[in-house]
Amino acid sequence: MRTKDMALVALFAALVAVLAQVAIPLPFSPVPITGQVLGVLLAGAILGKNRGTLAMLVYLLLGAIGLPVFARGGAGLAAFAGPSGGYLWGFALGVYVMGLVLERGRREPGYGRLAAGMLTCLVVVYVLGTLQLMYLLHLNLVKGLLLGVLPYIPLDLAKLVLAAAISLQARRALQQAGYLPAPGRGPGTCRPPS
Ligand SMILES: O=C(O)CCCC[C@@H]1SC[C@@H]2NC(=O)N[C@@H]21
C-alpha cells in the first residue's frame, strides 16, 4: 500500500471519529443520531471498497483499543456488544458492499450509482444495527424497526445527499492530486461520468 493510500485511510478513520462526537441523543432509544454515517458514506464513495473498508476497520480498531472514537466518546470492546454495536460492525460491512456496487459499472460512478451504493450501505448498517438492538432489548421486528431504523432515516438521507455531492468533487480533486487513480486507471473507473 502506498503512503498516499495510508494517509487517506488514516484521514477517513479520523473523520468518522470526529463526526461520531456530533451526537444527538434520543429520549426513547439508546442509539443517538450521529454524524458518523456522513463519514462512513464519504469513505466508501471516495476511497472505494478496499481502502474504504480498511479505513472503517482502522476506526473500529482505534475504538477497540480504548480511544474514545465512538458516539459520545464511547470506546472499548464492550461498545461492540452494546446497543449500538451492530451499527459499528455495519459501518465496515456497509462500506465493503457499497464498494462492490460502485465497482460494478465500467464508468466512473455518477450520482445515480453513488446514491445506489450509499443506500445499500445504509441498509447494511440498519440491518446489523437493528438485529443487535432487537437481540439485546428483546424487541420484535416492528419495535426493532421503530427504534433502530425509522428515527434515523430523514437525517441519514440528508447525509447521503451531502456525501454524494461532496464525494464527486473530492474524487476529482484527489484524482488530480494523484491520491486516487485517474479515470481509466483503476478498477471500475474506466471513463469520466457522461
Ligand atoms: O456507538 C456508536 O458509535 C455507533 C452509533 C451508531 C448510530 C447509528 S448509525 C445509523 C443511525 N444513524 C444515526 O445517525 N444514528 C444511527
Could you report the per-residue pLDDT of 100-133, keeping only the tens digit for each?
A: 999 987 788 889 999 999 999 999 999 999 999 9
pLDDT reported for residue 191: 45
Question: In this structure, what C-alpha cell is assigned to residue 106?
Answer: 465500467
Residue 185 has what pLDDT?
52
In this structure, the residues whose C-beta lies within 6 A of any atom of ligand 1 are 20, 31, 33-34, 36-37, 70-71, 74, 79, 84, 87-88, 125, 129, 152, 155-156
pLDDT for res 188: 40
CB 160, CB 150: distance < 8 Å: no
How does DSSP classify residue 177? T
pLDDT score of 189: 42
Residues of the chain with pLDDT under 50: 186-194
- Report residue 162 CA to chain centroid gap: 13
- The type of residue at 20 is A
Rounded distance from Cα 87 to ligand 1 centre (Å):
6
Centre of ligand 1 from the C-alpha of residue 68, in Å: 15
pLDDT in tens, 49-71: 999 999 999 999 999 999 999 99
Alpha-helix runs per DSSP H in the chain: 3-20, 36-64, 78-81, 85-102, 111-137, 141-148, 153-176
Taken in order of first residue, the domains within the chain and their CATH numbers are 3-177 (1.10.1760.20)
pTM score, two decimals?
0.92
Give the pLDDT score at 118: 98
Query: Which of ligand 1's atoms lies nearest the C-alpha of 88?
Result: 4
